[in-house]
Amino acid sequence: MERHRRAIRATLWLAFGLTSLAVAEPRSPREGEPRIWRGDRELSLHVSPDFEGAIGDMIFAEAGYGVFLRDGLELRGTFAYTLLEDISGAENDYKMQELGLVAEYHFPPRVRPAERIVPYVAVGVGYAKSLFANVDESAVTYGPRVGVKCYLADNAALDFAAQWRAASADVFINDFVAEDSDLGLGFGIRIVF
């Protein structure tokens, strides 16, 4: 329980830090710069397949829609689906669905390693429901994410991210064990319009 309190506290501090960064004065975008400006909207798709996994074939997919509330600060709604087949050798596949809300802060140009590479930090909260055999569990999920967007054009980017999530119940399956936390890597694409 103490671990969850510390994780919630850290998540709240990260959210506070992102909020305080959002009050910075907006600036005008330059032609050809990545679009992370107030009013821009973004569609995202992340996947993480593993068809040769030790515990079965797995696919994780997350789709999202976000709006930049301020320059560099995005609020995004997400839907994630995880399917892990052949987990027990029977017909009992593990499935999880999650609805979430994510706040992302994209670092300004002065701290970027290159003009087309945009690092970001995020914090998310969601509601997950998992189903495996006769176990039907639901939980509130939360946790941080760090990533980098590599812009191919001013409105399209490849996204690479690492994310840690905790849950109020055991909704994640890792190595045949139900757990209340998960660490994951993912890649995806983002389109800004």
pTM of the model: 0.78
* CB neighbour list of residue 2: distance below 8 Å, 6 or more residues apart: none
Q: Write out the residue range of the structural domain in which residue 130 sits.
A: 2-192
* CA 17/CA 35 separation, integer angstroms: 22
The domain total for the chain is: 1
Q: pLDDT tens per residue, the chain (193 residues)?
A: 666 567 666 665 665 555 554 444 445 556 667 888 899 999 999 988 766 555 667 788 999 999 999 999 999 999 999 888 765 555 667 889 999 999 999 988 776 777 889 999 999 999 999 987 777 899 999 999 999 999 998 899 999 999 999 999 988 877 667 789 988 888 999 999 8
* CA 138/CA 128 separation, integer angstroms: 5
Say which CATH number the domain at 121 has. 2.40.160.20
* CA 61/CA 65 separation, integer angstroms: 14
pLDDT of residue 16: 57
